[in-house]
Amino acid sequence: MKEFLKNIEGDRAIWAIVTVMALLSFLPVYSASTNLVYVSNNGTPIFHLFKHFILLFLGFLIIYGVHKIPFRYFSGGSIIMFPFVIILLIFTLSQGTTIGGSNASRWLEIPIIGIGFQTSTLAGLVLMIYVARYLAKNKENDITFSQSFWQLWLPIAITLLLILPANFSTTAILFLMILLLCFIGGYPKRYIGVIVGIAVVMLFLFILIAKAFPDAMPNRVDTWGNRIESLTDKNAVEGYQIEKAKIAIATGGLYGRGPGKSVQKNFLPQSTSDFIFAIIVEEYGLIGASMVILLYFLLLLRILIAAKKATSIFATLLIIGVGIPIVFQAIINMLVAVDFGLVTGQTLPLISSGGTSIWMTCMALGIILSVTSEKIAAPTKTDEENPLDILHEAIG
């Protein structure tokens, strides 16, 4: 064990935060899994707890393996992985399966182990690395819109358009994170405005096409409409979930009902994933919720510190590109649970059950730890502008 710990490199605080999150996830997942047993009649709570343990164990192996890879290899790796990701997304659109009551084909089932793999999460990770690579390579160049359109935005557009039909929320989050990364990376602001305008027009056209040819993308635009409608109509499916989540939060109080004593887990369809934060509040109260929020805040703080200390432009943008989305997804998940946003289907990273979410989050963390484990005697970024300084100046 001592030899294993000696081989662990990178930011020890990130290692500690991630470990605490993983350990804390077992209690709410075990409690909420009773709903899975009741609804799907599949296994027992112990079975789902063991499955969660295996997924986390494999996730930590991913962190360990990835953090041993020199981070500069991820730059070229994103180019190699891009065609593979596009093929996976196309295959998922045509042959993918639905899981957990979803009406969209987002998963490819992994043979033998029977676990669904959500290809959009892998695509998102590769895409963020690709964008970081482009911005770093062109940091000192005079970027033109036509050049960046073919090299940057066309690959982004193709990827997002392949994700959009089955997963609007992931598409929107990825697009926002890409815009943030481009802003921090020094991409011309006037072009960012143009891209946003083009994106709005393309989304409008997509909705018109989906309405005109409903058999091509069944239920998707209707699902988006239902989620918007749920803001005012609590009888809608999404409204029902939000109401149950609010009841769970309201009855949690300061200390909560206690471990395993949640009532609303029996009514929330996604109690182990999308709405696990509501179960945490119900069972552990405001104190438990505050602990979860504090852990994500500490993770964000360590990510920003790591980005600031990074010794190259690519390293800084890489940490921001793969790290900020983890915390942003957590914020989205918690806001939905407390009825401050539309139901998105986004899990709570490292705490919700689900193989793809855990593994891709762990891969992103491994990349961050790879950067922080870099051993260089003196910084090489002395004459370069730190991308975080751009964000600091914009904030004021």
Banded pLDDT at 212 (limits 50, 70, 90): confident
pLDDT at site 157: 95
Please report, as a single letter, which amino acid is at residue 353: S
Query: Residue 173 and residue 132: Cα distance in Å, rounded?
Result: 16
pLDDT digits (tens, 9 = 90+) for 10-58: 899 999 999 999 999 999 998 888 776 665 556 677 888 888 999 999 9
Specify the higher pLDDT residue, 196 or 115. Answer: 196
DSSP letter string, 237-288? HHHHHHHHHHHHHHHHTTT-S-TT--SGGGT-TTTTTTTHHHHHHHHHHHHH
What's the pTM value of the predicted model, to 2 decimals? 0.88
- Distance between terminal CA atoms of the chain? 47
Given this model, what pLDDT does residue 311 score? 87
What percentage of the chain exceeds 70 in pLDDT? 79
In this predicted structure, the answer to whether residue 89 has a pLDDT above a threshold of 60 is yes
Give per-residue pLDDT as tens, 314-372. 999 999 999 999 999 999 999 988 888 777 778 899 998 877 889 999 999 999 999 99
Q: Which residues contact 263 (CB under 8 A, 6 or more apart)?
A: 248, 251, 257, 282
Q: What residue ranges do the domains of the chain occupy? A: 2-374+384-395
Tokens, residue 252: 């949690």
Decide if pLDDT at 384 tops 60: no
106-120 mean pLDDT: 68
Residue 2: per-residue pLDDT: 67
> In the structure encoding, which two tokens stand for residue 149, read together?
């359109």
Q: What is the pLDDT, as a whole number, of residue 395?
A: 46
Confidence of residue 103 (pLDDT cuts 50, 70, 90): very low
Give the pLDDT confidence score for residue 53 in this predicted structure. 92
Q: Give the pLDDT band (50/70/90) at residue 377.
A: very low
Q: Is the pLDDT of residue 379 over 70?
A: no
Residue 284 has pLDDT above 90, yes or no: yes
Non-local CB neighbours of 25 within 8 Å, separated by 6+ positions: 52, 56, 350, 351, 352
User: Of 202, 346, 195, 185, which Cα lies nearest the Cα of 277?
Assistant: 346
